Amino acid sequence: MLVQTRLPRHEVLAAAVAGNPSLLDDQALRRELALPPAAALALVKGDGADAFAATLVEAEVADLGDGRWLVRAADHQALCDALARTPRPAGRVQITVDPTDI
């Protein structure tokens, strides 16, 4: 593998060179990036996704730029509560909690 980087001592490269992914502190990185299981995520898409995201409160909403929206909350209870309290738009909305393809 050939890697071009400005951070040759980065922990990801060290783990790759050692062939040992357990060298990474994945949980700390997930907390820093607010990714599951340190936070809860949902992916919202569909014809009504824009309208749904515009009215969503009590959670962080990010436009992924291709008609999809990423919703982030501190935990699954807060995420589900925010999604449940949001009025449904006229268009179809698909909500995927803990998506694997962001």
* pLDDT value of position 5: 92
Q: Domains of the chain (ranges plus CATH)? A: 8-35 (no CATH), 39-102 (3.30.70)
pLDDT in tens, 29-75: 788 888 888 899 999 999 999 999 999 998 999 999 999 999 999 99
19 φ/ψ sector (left φ>0, alpha ψ -120 to 50, else beta): left
In this prediction the pTM is: 0.73
What is the pLDDT averaged over residues 10-33? 85
**Of 23, 36, 58, 57, nearest to 102 (Cα)?**
36
